[in-house]
Amino acid sequence: MEPGDSQAREVRLVPSGLQVGDVTVPLLAGAVHYWRLDPRDWRAALSAVKRLGLRLVDTYVPWGVHETMPGEFDWGRRNSRLDLVSFLRAAEEIGLWAIVRPGPHVNAELTRFGLPERIVWDRDCQARSPKGHPVVLPAPPLGFPVPSCASRAFRAEAEEWLRAAGRVLGPLCWPHGPVVLLQVDNEGALYFRDGVYDQDTHPDALKAYRLFVRSRYETVERLREAYGDPSLGFEKLQPPRAASFATPRNLTAHLDWAEFQEGLVPNTLVWMRDALLQSGCQGIPTSHNLPLGDGASVLDPGRLEAAVDLIGIDYYHRASPAQRTVIARRTTELAARCVAGERPTFACELGTGFPPYIPPLSSRDCLFTALTALAYGLRGFNLYMAVDRDRWIGAPLDRRGRRRPQAGDWERLLTALNRIGFAELERSVEVAVVVPRSHRRLARVLNAFGAVPPAVFDLSGGGAVDSCFEDEWKEDGPVVVEVARFVERLEGALESRRIPFELVSGDVFERAPARRPWSVVACGGALEESLRETVQSAWDSLVPLTIGPRPVTRDAQMRPLNATLEVPEGLPVPPYVAANSGLIGELLDVARERLALGTLQAEPAEISVELHRRKTGEPAALFIINPSDHDVNASVSAAGAEVATDALDGQDYSARLGRLELRLLARSVRMLELR
């Protein structure tokens, strides 16, 4: 069925994609930037996108490109490349739905990330450093001062742009047009300057910060007690400007400041979303994308979910063992959130190529990333870029829609996903590894590298072990580093035993603590109140749950608790485990036996395997990942299947004594259809 055929007037997110009237549309999209192409090539490019097997076209709508002067915009009258309506109508006629991303920040490798020059140089719009200076992002080809999310001046300007874009997009929203998903802003990590002491001391941000602190402590007396300073008051309260603490007892003000920053982005997305909705973009869901390193950034997906309907992430990874781990962590955590909310697990940007100022990504890197992300639970993606343009290298289609050699790989993958019905499958998972938000906030505060945020280390696979300093904490020791090493050892022990697991954010775990056969909560001694209550309730119900490497003794602000958690008798697994790798291994062996945890045997040790089943429980797809730099001969459990077919090259493999034998090239992934 083509876009607009159905008479129903609702677009809903469902686990397998979008429900558009009575049609379910898998979230398989390709990015095409209309303003960067000759309009005479639009139809050829869009037709090529559809022939690849994609169902949607994705495009930014850049503020700085459309603005001709303050408050006035060209939608194609002067420059035919800016005729957004004609571009989207062409997509509709070709049979594509549309995802539209009007910013106001779009990045898109544009100078000033698509913001008008007058905005970034407006002092009233600029974010401020602790010393009151503009916060500059050194982004090629031209660094620029970033806007403040709290600035009322910036908000007024951005709302005017969003209302103008909304008036153009409103008549194009389904069922009147092809637009079925609307992204609000882009990669909202405070323009990648999200170190705790980087920003924002804009007067409007300070006003909002003081309101936040007042709402938390209510009285001056409670504030002074919490911060250990009898001279403080709400009216002139200043945030901490540097890592001026020596023990956990000095951290409360720093953690409050970090938590306030986490609320800036979702609060900003709310008014941006409302500007679009009020201008006519109603009846379709909204989304937001998290950038690389999101797990260590200012972004709190739990808060973002209150602002938009769908959270997705961006993927730009190389094929390597370290990046396989990063992809697994990011994807399983996203999948756990999306499954809990009955949403599709979506890559808002799945790199097919790269901009010229990051390390090169080969087509092999991109395919490895895609297949690895699918192995760990991704259900849909947007190929960024599907069609080539300036400041980009490696798209599978050129500017006129002509195929490049790598286009065949993506076409075969998309054909396989549609044939298998991959969006409807479920990844087998036995263990939830729970990472509290309070731990990630503490890691941000303890980042030792100033303006180089912890997200940079997270992206490389290093994390807190490389970026945090806690050497002088005689009383408590290096709790963040200890938790990071605990999680790494736990992951390694689970993988060596072939027990499938997922990372889970604390807020997602609170919704369904018994969703997996066993859960392990990472804790350095501090947990937020809501998570403590969830753990206590789970233990009281004898739910298999373990805490490590430390028991809970502090709240989320690192203040000592008056009472500890009560451990009932009869728990099926030990309630606590230390960071020692031997103890973790022993615990896993106990849990595997007592809880009958499922495994999937595979050799050699360096490969990873992931199984996906149909809702009936029938095995449907098996991924075998070889991130190493050498070819391997793999022997993998067939999961009860008699025959497996490589989804991309069509080669068949017969199971012998319940196992599949096949060869994997270095840094490659095999996706097998089971039957």
Helix (H, G, I), strand (E, B) or coil at 490: helix
How many Å apart are CA 36 and CA 394, to the nearest integer?
A: 16
What integer pLDDT is reported at residue 581 of this predicted model?
84
Encode pLDDT of 509-523 as tens digits: 999 999 999 999 999
* Strand segments (E) across 138-275: 144-145, 179-183
What average pLDDT does the structure give for the chain?
93
Distances (CA, A) of 277 to 27, 153, 626: 22, 21, 46
User: Burial level of 492, CB count in 10 A (0-12/13-18/19+)?
Assistant: middle
With residue 266 as reference, give the H or E element that holds it: helix 252-278
Q: Note the Cα 347 to chain centre separation in Å.
A: 8
What integer pLDDT is reported at residue 461 of this predicted model?
55
Q: Assess whether pLDDT exceeds 70 at residue 462.
A: no
Residue 531 has, within 13 A of its CA and on its CB side, a CA count of 27
With residue 667 as reference, give the H or E element that holds it: none
With residue 237 as reference, give the H or E element that holds it: none
* Position 469 confidence tier, pLDDT thresholds 50, 70, 90: low
Q: Assess whether pLDDT exceeds 80 at residue 140.
A: yes
Helix H segments across 191-251? Answer: 203-217, 220-227
Q: Do residues 290 and 299 touch, judged by C-beta distance below 8 A?
A: yes
Q: Do residues 190 and 264 touch, judged by C-beta distance below 8 A?
A: yes
Helix (H, G, I), strand (E, B) or coil at 625: strand
**Token digits of residue 488:** 């790494």
Helix H segments across 477-625? Answer: 479-496, 506-511, 529-540, 581-595
- Residue 175 zone, left/alpha/beta (φ > 0; ψ -120 to 50; rest): alpha
Would you tell me the crossing angle of helices 252-278 and 437-445 to the nearest 10 degrees?
110
Would the CA dihedral through 670, 606, 344, 180 be positive or negative?
Answer: negative
What integer pLDDT is reported at residue 408 of this predicted model?
97
Q: Assess whether pLDDT exceeds 50 at residue 472.
A: no
Q: Assess whether pLDDT exceeds 90 at residue 487.
A: yes
Which residues does 257 contact at the CB level (< 8 Å), separation at least 6? 196, 209, 239, 240
Encode pLDDT of 12-48 as tens digits: 999 999 999 999 999 999 999 999 999 999 999 999 9
Average pLDDT over residues 633-649: 96
Encode pLDDT of 183-203 as tens digits: 999 999 999 999 999 999 999
Q: Which domains does the chain have, with CATH numbers?
A: 11-199+259-427 (3.20.20.80), 431-595 (3.40.50), 602-674 (2.60.40.1180)
With residue 284 as reference, give the H or E element that holds it: none
- Would you tell me how many other CB atoms lie within 10 Å of the CB of residue 473? 16
Strand 346-351 relative to strand 380-384, pairing: parallel
Q: How many residues does the chain have?
A: 675
How many Å apart are CA 57 and CA 31, to the nearest integer?
A: 6
What is the DSSP annotation of 50-101? HHHT--EEEEE--HHHHEEETTEE-SSSS-GGG-HHHHHHHHHHHT-EEEEE
What integer pLDDT is reported at residue 6 of this predicted model?
40
How many Å apart are CA 147 and CA 456, to the nearest integer?
A: 21
Helix (H, G, I), strand (E, B) or coil at 564: coil
* Amino acid identity, position 347: A
Helix H segments across 406-472? Answer: 407-420, 437-445, 454-460, 464-467
Average pLDDT over residues 465-482: 61
What integer pLDDT is reported at residue 151 of this predicted model?
98
Q: Assess whether pLDDT exceeds 80 at residue 173.
A: yes
Return the higher-pLDDT residue of 330 and 9. Answer: 330
Q: Do residues 544 and 517 touch, judged by C-beta distance below 8 A?
A: yes
Q: Assess whether pLDDT exceeds 60 at residue 669.
A: yes
Average pLDDT over residues 66-80: 97
Strand 652-654 relative to strand 659-664, pairing: unpaired
Q: Look at the block and give the residue holding tokens 């990648």.
A: 192
Distances (CA, A) of 634 to 253, 256, 662: 53, 50, 5
Of 21, 89, 88, 99, nearest to 54 by C-alpha is: 99
Average pLDDT over residues 532-553: 97
Q: Assess whether pLDDT exceeds 50 at residue 3.
A: no
Secondary structure letter of residue 393 according to DSSP: B
What integer pLDDT is reported at residue 1 of this predicted model?
39
* Amino acid identity, position 318: R
Q: Assess whether pLDDT exceeds 90 at residue 118.
A: yes
User: Burial level of 72, CB count in 10 A (0-12/13-18/19+)?
Assistant: exposed
How many Å apart are CA 306 and CA 309, to the nearest integer?
A: 8
* Amino acid identity, position 352: T
Q: Assess whether pLDDT exceeds 50 at residue 474.
A: no
Rg, C-alpha atoms of the chain: 25
Distances (CA, A) of 217 to 70, 211, 214, 253: 42, 10, 5, 12
Q: Do residues 547 and 521 touch, judged by C-beta distance below 8 A?
A: yes
- Residue % of the chain over a pLDDT of 90: 90
Q: Assess whether pLDDT exceeds 70 at residue 120.
A: yes
- Would you tell me how many other CB atoms lie within 10 Å of the CB of residue 229? 11
Q: Assess whether pLDDT exceeds 90 at residue 467.
A: no
What integer pLDDT is reported at residue 20 of this predicted model?
97
**Token digits of residue 50:** 């559809």
Would you tell me the crossing angle of helices 252-278 and 203-217 to the nearest 10 degrees?
110
* Position 247 confidence tier, pLDDT thresholds 50, 70, 90: confident
φ, ψ of residue 430 in degrees (nearest 5) = -115, -30
What integer pLDDT is reported at residue 449 of this predicted model?
54
What integer pLDDT is reported at residue 250 of this predicted model?
83
Average pLDDT over residues 606-614: 97
Encode pLDDT of 649-661 as tens digits: 999 999 999 999 9
- Residue % of the chain over a pLDDT of 70: 94
What integer pLDDT is reported at residue 243 of this predicted model?
85
Residue 623's DSSP bridge partners are 610, 671
Q: Assess whether pLDDT exceeds 70 at residue 619.
A: yes
How does 618-647 read in b/e, with b if 16+ C-beta sit within 10 Å? ebbbbbbbbbbeeebebebbbbebeebbbb
What integer pLDDT is reported at residue 141 of this predicted model?
85
